Every structure is written in structure tokens, then in C-alpha cells.
């Protein structure tokens, strides 16, 4: 028995062209007309997926730009010198961190809005629908990328904070004053130099330039503490969402791996079928009148 699917499709196209030319629809084809209308509704929904993917692309572009700025900021902190930097440089750095914070909050709000859209799409089209699964998967991947970028930024701030503390400790040790790291932490929290000694300048031989550098590092520490306080709430929200979505991300990765396995198995079966077809050409014909089928 030969495959007549192509012939059937050709006949359908010819029938549709004939109907358009005659300008009327036969009564016997009312059922087919309903089916065609139903398919048209499905095609009208395709722009929804396109709109979702466009929104995903815009958010991903914003996250990529944020990642680039965080990477540049991290590279700048690796070249942190042990001398006092100019106030203009520090002010420029503060503007960068403020800009990163504003953009991170904006991206986080967009991801939250997208999460609500996923729930609404699931309620309208079903949790197992293609649109819902596409939107849900894209949201998880975007959030994972955003979480990775913010973790890197947080690590950079913590590293810079540690460098500033170590610089203060070294400068005081050079001046003849041994200071523990806990005392530096207390100084950073209280913002008072008296935690070391009320007469620290008179007690140790410290120059004005050394004191100026230490004070500058202290200001940087206080500024860093303020930045980390501003980001703490955002980090907590990200952490909570990571905990909630961790299992979902693992399930998606597992499904992707299983899908790849299924594709590999299907390819192998197709190869076997093609090989079997070439080796047994007579068995493709299903008519019992042929002697080769007996």
C-alpha cells in the first residue's frame, strides 16, 4: 500500500482554491469549515509566544549589561592599591555602585512581574500548555542568570571590605599599634576611632599622611556597609526565590537530559528501520497477492 498523504494534501489545496474562485461553500463541507476556523484561532495565539520571547530577550539584554558592569567593577577592585585614592575616583565608584543597585532592583521587579504572568498564563491555558511551559522555563533561566550576577557583585563588595580592613590593620601595625580584626569591625559599626584608643595619635608615631589614608579607608568601609545594607533586602528576596525554584530548575535540567536521551534512542531506532527497509524491500508491500509475502 503506497503512501497517498501528499496526494490527499494536494486535493485539499485544489478544493480550497476552487471554493475561493466560485465564492461559495458547499453545504457538505460545513464541518470542515468549523475545523478551519478553529485552526485559525490557534494561529492567532502564536504572537503571544513571540511577545513572550521578545520580553525575555529584553530582560536578558539588561542582565547581560549588568553582568558586564559588575565584571568591570570587580576587575577595578582587584587593582586596589595601598595608597589613598582621589576623592573624584571614589565618587565615581559610588555612582557606579548606585547605578548597579538601581538597575538590579529594576530587573528584579521585571522578573517578579514575569512570575505573575506565568501564573496567569497557567490559569488561562493550563499548566501543561506549551505557552506556559515556555514562559515558565524562560523565567527560571533568567532568574538563575540574574542570581549569579548578583552573587558575584556581593562577593566583590565583601572582598573590597576585607581589603580595606586589612589595609587599616597594616597601617596601624607600621605605626606601632597592633589592632585585631574584631576592633576594626567594631570601629566600622560605631564609626568612632576611640575603639582603638582615645589618644591614638599621641600614643603612636603616626604621620598625617598615614592617618589620612586610614581615615579614607574607614570612609570606604562605611560606604560599603551602607551599600550592603541597601542590597540586603534584595539579596534576601533572591535567596528565598532560589530556594523555592531550586527543585524546578533541577527538574527542567533533568527533563532536558532525558529528552536528549529519548532523541538519541529515536535516532537509533530510525536508523534500524531504514536499514531493515533496505534489506527487506518486499515486506513494505502489504498486499497478500504477492508471492514474496507468503
Domain tally, the chain: 1
Confidence at residue 43, expressed as pLDDT on a 0 to 100 scale: 42
Residue 32 included in any domain: no
Angle 130-174/87-125 helices, nearest 10 degrees? 160
Q: Which three cell numbers stand for residue 271?
A: 536508523
Residue 105 included in any domain: yes
Angle at 265 between CA 262 and CA 271, to 5 degrees: 140
Per-residue pLDDT of the chain in tens (294 residues, 90 and over written 9): 556 667 777 887 887 777 666 655 444 444 444 444 434 344 444 578 888 889 999 999 999 999 999 898 888 777 654 444 554 555 667 778 888 888 998 999 999 999 999 999 889 888 888 888 889 999 999 998 998 998 888 888 888 777 777 777 776 676 666 777 777 777 666 655 444 444 444 444 555 565 666 666 666 666 666 666 666 666 666 665 665 555 555 555 556 565 666 566 666 666 766 676 666 555 545 555 545 544
Asked if residues 97 and 227 have their Cβ atoms less than 8 Å apart, the reply is yes
> Which residues in the chain belong to E strands, given as ranges?
none
Asked if residues 265 and 257 have their Cβ atoms less than 8 Å apart, the reply is no
Residue 291 included in any domain: no
Residue 113 included in any domain: yes
Residue 105 belongs to domain with CATH number: 1.20.58.70
Non-local CB neighbours of 193 within 8 Å, separated by 6+ positions: 187, 200, 218
Residue 278 included in any domain: no
- Residue 226 belongs to what domain range? 40-71+85-230
Q: Is the pTM of this model over 0.85?
A: no
Residue 102 included in any domain: yes
What gap in Å lies between CA 85 and CA 164, rounded to an integer?
Answer: 12
Asked if residues 143 and 136 have their Cβ atoms less than 8 Å apart, the reply is no
Residue 198 included in any domain: yes
What gap in Å lies between CA 224 and CA 97, rounded to an integer?
Answer: 10
Separation in Å, CA 166 to CA 70, 79, 169, 210 = 23, 15, 5, 14
DSSP code at position 292: G
Report phi then psi at 3, rounded to 5. Answer: -75, 120
Residue whose grid cell is 566600622:
188
Select from 70, 68, 50 the least CA-distant residue to 138: 50
Residue 149 included in any domain: yes
Select from 176, 150, 115 the least CA-distant residue to 233: 150
Confidence at residue 33, expressed as pLDDT on a 0 to 100 scale: 46
What gap in Å lies between CA 83 and CA 78, rounded to an integer?
Answer: 14
**Helix or strand holding residue 205 (H, E):** none
Amino acid at each position: 500500500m503506497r503512501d497517498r498523504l501528499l496526494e490527499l494534501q494536494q486535493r485539499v489545496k485544489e478544493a480550497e482554491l476552487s471554493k475561493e474562485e466560485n465564492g461559495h461553500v458547499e453545504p457538505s463541507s460545513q464541518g470542515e469549515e468549523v475545523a478551519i476556523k478553529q485552526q485559525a484561532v490557534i494561529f492567532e495565539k502564536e504572537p503571544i509566544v513571540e511577545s513572550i520571547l521578545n520580553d525575555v530577550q529584553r530582560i536578558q539584554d539588561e542582565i547581560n549589561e549588568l553582568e558586564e558592569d559588575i565584571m568591570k567593577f570587580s576587575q577595578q577592585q582587584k587593582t586596589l592599591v595601598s595608597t589613598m585614592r582621589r576623592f573624584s575616583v571614589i565618587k565615581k565608584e559610588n555612582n557606579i555602585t548606585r547605578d548597579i543597585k538601581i538597575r538590579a532592583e529594576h530587573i528584579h521587579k521585571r522578573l517578579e512581574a514575569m512570575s505573575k504572568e506565568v501564573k496567569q498564563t497557567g490559569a488561562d491555558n493550563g499548566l501543561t500548555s506549551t505557552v506556559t511551559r515556555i514562559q515558565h522555563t524562560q523565567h527560571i533561566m533568567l532568574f538563575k542568570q540574574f542570581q549569579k550576577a548578583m552573587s558575584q557583585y556581593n562577593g566583590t563588595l565583601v572582598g573590597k571590605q576585607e581589603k580595606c580592613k586589612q589595609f587599616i590593620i597594616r597601617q596601624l601595625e607600621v605605626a606601632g599599634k597592633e589592632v585585631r580584626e574584631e576592633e576594626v569591625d567594631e570601629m566600622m559599626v560605631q564609626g568612632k576611632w576611640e575603639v582603638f584608643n582615645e589618644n591614638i595619635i599621641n600614643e603612636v608615631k603616626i604621620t598625617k599622611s598615614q592617618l589620612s589614608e586610614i581615615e579614607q579607608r574607614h570612609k570606604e568601609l562605611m560606604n560599603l556597609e551602607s551599600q550592603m545594607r541597601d542590597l540586603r533586602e534584595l539579596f534576601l528576596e533572591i535567596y528565598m526565590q532560589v530556594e523555592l525554584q531550586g527543585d524546578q530548575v533541577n527538574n527542567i535540567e533533568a527533563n532536558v537530559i532525558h529528552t536528549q536521551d529519548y532523541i538519541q534512542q529515536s535516532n537509533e531506532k530510525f536508523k534500524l528501520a531504514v536499514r531493515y527497509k533496505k534489506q527487506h524491500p518486499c515486506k513494505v508491500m502489504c498486499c497478500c497477492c504477492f508471492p514474496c509475502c507468503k
